[in-house]
Structure 1
Amino acid sequence: MKHEAHPLGWNRRHLLALAAATAAAGPLGARAQAAPTGFATRPVRVVVPFAAGGATDVIARILGERMAQRFGQSVVVDNKPGAAGLIAGEMVAKAPPDGMTALLGTTSSMLTNKYLYKKTPYDPLTELTPLVRVCLAPIALVVTADTPAQNLQDFMAWIRSQKGKLTYGSYGIGSHGQLACTTLSEVAGADMTHVAYKGEAPMVQDLLGGQIKIGMGSLLSLKAHVDAGKLRALAVTGPRRVPLLPEVPTFTEAGYPQDALSIVGWLAIAGPKAMPADVARQWAQAANHAVASREGLARIIAAGFVPVDDDTPEKFARLWAQEAPVWGRLLQAAGVQPS
């Protein structure tokens, strides 16, 4: 059955999942379990480069439960935080390519680290096998409620009129937030100053305290403050609006299609180099099945991400190869030097 189209790019199934995200938790309806796919002869390990309890970890555990139905084996989430994701990535890169170990990481931990560090223990572009994206990770531009900017056009005029006087915050050097705001500053000729925070929490705290007026971060961190009227969301990155903030346009919609504003990060699964093609396809099928489940869709949307439930290793590999040099150019243009 064809799903009903929605003007924001979301079909009926995704919108129903958003409603389900706010419903009381309860047992899922009975569903048939697929037969084991064959390669999994013991518990499968998903390595997550972040501590337990974060959004990536929560999604890994939700999807792991559903993927276990397809594998016929339990899926163990193994948290290996530290070194900007390099510890977890190296563990997977050096694992046997038998499909028993995979990495659930982000664009930064699986791609842009290549450009942020002079020396890394592995090259994600050559030593990992792209398997499947599970969701996109848009970020939002916000301003404090006392600024004159009601929309992105107002914002550009405002920062232009305040040339050299404004600062903006992001969750770290080389972050997507820095790259996007650098682009906006250059387009407007605003000469804004970047304040790099060690994570989103201190950035949001300074936004709420009035130390900075402009910031970019995840929808999960910002939405409650936008809903409370303390922050105003002006635009989101990526190709389409997101259901968590459906009234907020994309940068492209608002007339700013530059790469740093239209590109979007992701959460994805990768395996070691030389993983057999049939095993890679089974991982993708299991992940797509998990994302498309009622709870998978609901939790991903509630966390501020955009579900991807139709990816393949081939599609993801092409996108990975296409996006890598774009991120590299953006980091170079922003003056980010490898450390």
Structure 2
Amino acid sequence: MSKVTTTRRGLLRTGAGASLLVAAPSIVRAQSAAWPNKPITIVVNFPAGGLTDGIARAFGQSVSQATGQQVLIDNKPGASGNIGAALVARAPADGYTFLHSVSSTLIQNRVMFKTLGFDPDKDFTIVSGTSSGVLPVVVHKSLPAEVKDLKSFVEYAKKNKVNFGSWAMGSSAHIFAQTLNEKYGLTMEVVTYKGEAPMWQDMGAGQLQAAMGSPQAMNALIVKGEVRGIAAPSKVRARVFPDVPTSREQGFDDDAFTVSGWLALAAPAATPKDIVKRMSDLWVAAADSEPGKKMMDSFALVEKPMPHEEVMADYERLKTVLIPRIVALGMKPE
């Protein structure tokens, strides 16, 4: 776990910077126009190996190629993404530190934790949003072959102990599993991890009976036959499991069974608007770059990233949908 130390020198430096902004706005404009003129750091608040990390690395490579500046990926997992997010919230708003996260860090976490260490609405502006694609629900091979869809899974879970993996508190996987518990009288234990990679390790070891996540992150388990898909919690079927129906196709019509959310590239709220716009354009364009296309294809993603204004509008929409859903499920903040 990373520890951020605020020093007197750092505070003085911050104060001096603030004075400079007031005294010489022309200098700020010049610096902004020259952006970027040094390496950019993207903090990923989940471990390496998952979708959030993979997209950050591939798109970051594209930004580096387009700007000629190095893009550094710094993984800061922990507390369902809160540790990395808090780190970026306190970073200088100069366009050289960004957060790559999942939308649940900025939306669901506010009602899942008593203290975040940051204010999602006041401390960040969202630069771009990349669809997380279809995140299949899978079960471990140890479950009977009869467990092949959501209905049979619910029947199995009524009679057997089930640990359901979630990559973060309040994530789409957490909401999905908890909604199954509430609607069908199940007692599944939702096991929360610091990202997908450790979750899939436990699934491979048979410590989880079910989980939900990105196809690429679980690919090794698919290839080995360790897991099988039972539902696509989305509007379309998963490319890796084309014969597995969506939740709605299976009659599970509650909105909680159709995932809404995206990967968020965010910056400290005071980051100059022109830098936010330029980074947004670079991030959207990255989906069409060679590294971006390769990563998008490996995760079976087809939707292009949303630019700044569009993702900010969807952010407001998702808050009105997801926050009441968590409250209704009775999830208690930690």
The TM-score, its normalising length taken from structure 2, stands at 0.76
The structure 1 residue matched to 2:65, chosen from 65, 69, 76, is 69
Pick one of 33, 42, 53 that aligns with 1:57.
53
Shift of 1:233: 0.5
- 2:20 paired residue number: none
In structure 1, runs of 5+ residues without a counterpart are: 1-35
Residue 281 of structure 1 and its aligned partner are, at CA, apart by 1.8
Deviations 1:60-107 (A, max 9, x none): 222112112333432222333334322322232233333222111122
Q: What is the 5 A alignment of 1:75-86?
A: 75-86=71-82
**Cα distance between partner residues in 1 of 2:244 and 2:217:** 16
CA RMSD of aligned residues (A): 3.0
Aligned positions of 1:107-186 closer than 5 A: 107-145=103-141, 146-156=144-154, 158-159=155-156, 163=158, 165-171=160-166, 173-186=169-182
Q: Aligned match of 2:313 in 313, 318, 324?
A: 318
Offset of residue 286 of structure 1: 0.2
Provide the residue aligned with 2:3 in structure 1.
none
Tell me the amino acid that sits aligned with residue 152 of structure 1. L
The CA distance in 2 between the partners of 1:310 and 1:186, in whole Å, is 33
- What SS does the aligned partner of 2:98 have? strand
CA distance in 2, matches of 1:77, 1:215: 27
Contact map agreement 2:109 2:170 (CA 8 A) in 1: no
User: Does structure 2 conserve the Cα–Cα contact (< 8 Å) formed by 1:64 and 1:75?
Assistant: yes
**Are residues 1:102 and 2:129 paired?**
no
Query: Quick check: 2:136–2:238 contact (8 Å CA) kept in 1?
Result: no
8 Å contact from structure 1 (residues 168, 192) kept in 2: no
Q: What is the match of residue 31 of structure 1?
A: none
Report the counterpart of residue 254 of structure 1 in structure 2.
Answer: 250
- Give deviations 1:281-321, integer Å, cap 9, x for gaps: 2111101111222321222332x352542411111001111
1:180 Cα shift? 0.7
Code of the residue aligned with 2:313 in structure 1: it is R
Q: 1:65 to 1:324 in 2, by over 3 A?
A: same
The one-character-per-residue Cα deviations of 1:128-177 (angstroms, maximum 9, x if unpaired) are 00110133154322234424133334445x35xx6464524123543322
For 2:198 and 2:54, the matched residues in 1 are separated by 22
Q: From the superposition, tell whether residues 236 and 197 of structure 1 become closer, same or farther in structure 2 (CA, over 3 Å).
A: same
User: Cα gap change, 1:208/1:58 in structure 2, threshold over 3 Å: closer, same or farther?
Assistant: closer
Structure 2: how far apart are the matches of 1:215 and 1:163? Answer: 17
Shift of 1:186: 3.7
Distance change >3 Å, CA 63–CA 173, structure 1 → 2: closer
The one-letter code sitting in structure 2 at the alignment partner of 1:49 is: N
**CA deviation after TM superposition for structure 1 residue 270, in Å:** 0.7
Q: Percent identity?
A: 30
The question of whether the paired residues in 2 share the 8 Å contact of 1:140 and 1:235 is answered with yes
Whole-angstrom CA distance in 2 between matches of 1:66 and 1:165: 47
CA distance in structure 2 between the partners assigned to 1:203 and 1:50 by the alignment: 12
* Structure 2 segments unaligned to the other structure (5+ residues): 1-31
The size of the alignment, in residue pairs, is 299
Give the distance between the partners of 2:43 and 2:106, measured in 1 at CA: 12
Question: CA–CA distance in 1 between the matches of 2:234 and 2:34?
Answer: 37
